[in-house]
Chain A
Amino acid sequence: DAGVTQSPTHLIKTRGQHVTLRCSPISGHKSVSWYQQVLGQGPQFIFQYYEKEERGRGNFPDRFSARQFPNYSSELNVNALLLGDSALYLCASSLKQDSYEQYFGPGTRLTVT
């Protein structure tokens, strides 16, 4: 099953550090979106990338950035980590920017101490 993959699975960082999370979309999918899921809540939109360009940004500070590579994989970067950044970070892929169906990866569990 060549679904969405993410790495690493778990990560522990301390406040002020920087983190990079990675995502590989389903083969053939060109759009990647990032979501933050805090415990007990629904996922919250962070970014959408399509054809290597940022197509949407949620209500997150500039400490959050992302990019998409020519092979459509993506990285999410978070600088100056805060305790409140502890969450499950989910990547979702879809065929195109305006494709409705989004398929999620297993997520990266980030803990900031």
Chain B
Amino acid sequence: GENVEQHPSTLSVQEGDSAVIKCTYSDSASNYFPWYKQELGKRPQLIIDIRSNVGEKKDQRIAVTLNKTAKHFSLHITETQPEDSAVYFCAASPDRGSTLGRLYFGRGTQLTVWP
């Protein structure tokens, strides 16, 4: 099955700096890559996603890039704020009959933004 690796496991940045989280995946059939933000004790929230026919997508301070050849994708957060502190998960979804609609998650990155 799909295997998603996520790095780093923890990331500390100063408010206003940028943060980058990287993920790799193994299944070439994966064509949907969402990112979730999970605050302590709360549900994972979808913050941005990208599909395999697009190389980059931006939404205000967050952006995601995808390199299908290298099988990796990244989350970029600019002008970080303390409220960005949370665990961020990347995921991949293979477009394959047996696993259609299934998300495979990385292990998460604890992002801490210091004021």
Contacts and interface: CB of A to CB of B under 8 A. Distances in A.
Interface of A: 4, 31, 33, 35, 40-45, 48, 50, 55-56, 58-59, 90, 92, 94, 97-107
Interface residues of B, number: 27
Given A33-B101, A101-B49, 12 more contacts: A33-B103, A40-B108, A41-B107, A42-B89, A42-B105, A45-B104, A55-B100, A90-B44, A92-B103, A97-B101, A100-B93, A106-B43
B99 interface: yes
B101 A48 contact: yes
B40 to A, nearest CB: 12
Contacts of B100: 55-56, 97-98
A104 B42 CA distance: 10
A107 B105 contact: no
Contact of B101 (A43, A56, A106): A56
B99 A106 contact: no
Nearest to A107: B43
Given A33-B101, A33-B102, A97-B100, A102 B89 contact: no
Contacts of A105: 43
A24 to B, nearest CB: 14
Given A42-B89, A42-B91, A43-B89, A102 B45 contact: no
B8 to A, nearest CB: 14
A103 B103 contact: no
B22 to A, nearest CB: 15
Nearest to B108: A42
A94 B102 CA distance: 11
Contacts of B46: 101-103
A98 B105 contact: no
Interface in B32-68: 32, 34, 36, 42-46, 49, 51
Contacts of A98: 100-101
Interface string B77-115: 000000000000101010000111111111110000000
